[in-house]
Amino acid sequence: ATTKLWGGRFTAKAAEWVDEFGASIHFDQQMAAEDLEGSIAHATMLGKQAIITPEESAQIVAGLKSLQEELTLGTLTFDVKNEDIHMNMEALLTEKIGAVAGKLHTARSRNDQVATDFHLWVKHRLPHVSEALTELQETLLTLATTHAGTIMSGYTHLQHAQPITYGHYLLAYFEMFQRDYERFEFNNKHTDILPLGAAALAGTTFPIDREFVAEQLDFSDIYHNSLDAVSDRDFALEFLSNAAILMMHLSRMAEELILWSTYEFNYIELSDDFSTGSSIMPQKKNADFAELVRGKTGRTYGALMALLTTMKSLPLAYNKDMQEDKEQVFDVMDTVIASIKIFTGMLGGLKVHEKRMLATTQDDFSNATELADYLATKGVPFREAHAIVGQLVLQGLQTHTPLQKMSLETLQAAAPQIEDDIYHVLASQTAVDRRTSLGGTAVSNVKKEIIRNQKKLEAR
């Protein structure tokens, strides 16, 4: 026998570097608190069910509680010789209370133990994602309230398309983050399920009480198939997938923050405390944090691809491949929470150059649709109206004259239906105000939407 916890049937001992390759303690110690929590619930249940004596159960629980204290104090040390957090904790417990510690693992396997720790770890942290999202959404609503009437160019293909309001733009992101929020809520439903009691893969012959353990650990549901319990990582994949979608949203907004703070756009200015300078160019003010969030989106996608690929084709039930699940999730959890918070900070201190935004809607041709629609309401078939306005735009581009600066004679020469109310119609303010269709950019709509969305946040 070797000295390993599982060393009974072994005669030869692996080299240290081989053990190190198999070990996970350098990262799974992040689940130390969850491991102790799970073990306390398990030991309590073993005592209650008379699988071990009440005294043994009490001794084990007391030992685990004292390990909890040491963990909080930061005095626990782990050893790579003990491979992972589960065997490290058992070794520490044995040091503390002696051989009775060996009874803790009755009716349990590391397979259902690691699954339980991992579920708990994610379950404990999903609320932090939700809180951070709520704060970001609140910040968006505040900014949208200030800018419900701030007119700017709306883009398609990054070309001026039609005027919109900056408030309307901000609410578009509010909607995306609302869906993200709902996705994480659903993710929580699939995380909030107890695997413990599945044992290695087939269940156990001991008269365990899984409902009791679920209650102790505050799980709302219990895995009803032991094979699924130990081999399911969907909750982790859902988390990574939700995180990838959320980061994609952040990266799109990041791109706009970066682009819009350039000299060429000059729509916005990030506050100094969310910008950086250059070591050589004294004039520089860079949107480093927005860039970094955009960059970290790649890392998040990578984590999702990594775990999907790890899980692909794995036969049931547990396989050691699955030890690769945790680092991705740990990393992405930190990444998303930090990225959301950076965004909340950046948007909170954002300076918006309203005049500049408005100005870009005044000498472009983003009111061309208004003129075509105007002609259509006067009975000109829309296709024909489109062609007439296209000609006028061409003429305007050649003479550097926006539509609203053309004389009535010029306009009427193109289409006699045009009257002098056209100048009101062509104003970007009018273009925005008239877009009152459900979901449109009209200021009145934006204000209504802000109230509707505020109620959603209040209901959380």
Applying CB under 6 A, among 323, 366, 441, 445 the residue interacting with ligand ARG is 323
How far apart are alpha carbons 9 and 16 in whole angstroms? 19
Say how far apart CA 111 and CA 227 lie, in whole Å.
10
Closer by beta carbon to ligand ARG, 89 or else 418? 89
Backbone φ and ψ for 367, nearest 5 degrees, come out as -100, 10
Rounded CA gap, 422 and 359, in Å?
A: 20
Q: Which is nearer to ligand ARG, 193 or 322 (CB)?
A: 322
In the set 157, 313, 400, 437, the catalytic residue is 157
Cα separation, 6 vs 13, in Å, equals 12
Of these, 257, 304, 322, 350, which contacts ligand ARG (CB under 6 A)?
322
Q: How far is the CB of 87 from ligand ARG (least distance, A)?
A: 8
CB atoms within 10 A of CB 158: 7
CB of 116 to ligand ARG, least distance (A): 11
Task: Give the three-class secondary structure for 421.
Answer: coil
Our CA dihedral for 144, 149, 153, 158, rounded to 10 degrees, sits at 20
| Binding status of residue 84 toward ligand ARG by CB under 6 A | yes
**Tokens 């990594």 belong to residue:** 306
3-state secondary structure of 306: helix
- Report the residue number, 24 or 453, with the smaller CB distance to ligand ARG: 24
CB of 13 to ligand ARG, least distance (A): 17
Tell me the closest approach of the beta carbon of residue 323 to ligand ARG, in angstroms. Answer: 4
DSSP state of 276: B
User: Amino acid identity, residue 172?
Assistant: A
Stretch of 177-185, 308-316, 318-326, 428-436 contacting ligand ARG, by CB under 6 A: 318-326
Closest by alpha carbon to 241, among 175, 324, 328, 326?
328
Which of 56, 112 has the CB closer to ligand ARG? Answer: 112
- Minimum Å gap between C-beta 153 and ligand ARG is 52
Asked if residues 299 and 331 have their Cβ atoms less than 8 Å apart, the reply is yes
Cβ proximity to ligand ARG, 236 vs 293, nearer residue: 236
Are the CB atoms for 104 and 40 separated by under 8 Å?
Answer: no
Amino acid 344 reads: T
Q: What percent of the chain is helix, strand and coil (3-state, nearest 5)?
A: 65, 5, 30
Binds ligand ARG (CB under 6 A): choice among 24, 88, 297, 300: 24
220, 271, 278, 444: the catalytic one is 278
CB of 440 to ligand ARG, least distance (A): 52
Q: Which range of residues in 34-42, 121-129, 236-244, 315-323 is near ligand ARG by CB under 6 A?
A: 315-323
* Residue closer to ligand ARG, measured from CB, 88 or 366: 88
**Does the protein bind ligand ARG through residue 198 (CB under 6 A)?**
no
Answer yes or no whether residue 320 interacts with ligand ARG by CB under 6 A: yes
Question: How many Cβ atoms are within 10 Å of 459's Cβ, its own excluded?
Answer: 6
Answer for the pair 84, 30: CB distance below 8 angstroms, yes or no: no
199: enclosing H helix or E strand: none
H-helix or E-strand spanning residue 151:
strand 151-156
Q: Which residues pair with 163 in a beta bridge?
A: 153
> Within positions 222 to 261, which residues make up the interface with ligand ARG, using CB under 6 A?
none
> Which whole-number Å values give the CA distances from 35 to 43, 113, 212, 249, 340, in the listed order?
12, 8, 17, 34, 28
Contact characters 96-135, ligand ARG, x per CB under 6 A: --------------xx--x---------------------
Instruction: Give the other-Cβ count within 10 Å of 113's Cβ.
Output: 26
DSSP-based three-state secondary structure for 444: helix
Residue 9 binding ligand ARG, by CB under 6 A: no
Instruction: Select 199 or 432, whichever has its Cβ closest to ligand ARG.
Output: 199
Angle at 240 between CA 291 and CA 171, to 5 degrees: 55
Cβ-based nearer residue to ligand ARG, 82 or 261: 82
CA 45/CA 448 separation, integer angstroms: 54
CB of 84 to ligand ARG, least distance (A): 4
Site for ligand ARG, residues 272 to 311, rule: CB under 6 A = none
The answer to whether 124 is a known catalytic residue is: no
35 contributes a contact to ligand ARG by CB under 6 A? no
Residue 34 or residue 449: which is nearer to ligand ARG going by CB? 34
Stretch that binds ligand ARG, among 289-297, 317-325, 406-414, 434-442 (CB under 6 A): 317-325
Nearest approach, Cβ of residue 318 and ligand ARG (Å): 6
Question: How many residues touch ligand ARG (CB under 6 A)?
Answer: 10
Active site residue 24: no
Residue 56 in the binding site for ligand ARG (CB under 6 A): no
Q: Which residues are catalytic?
A: 157, 278
Q: Given the rule CB under 6 A, which residues bind ligand ARG?
A: 24, 28, 84, 110-111, 114, 318, 320, 322-323
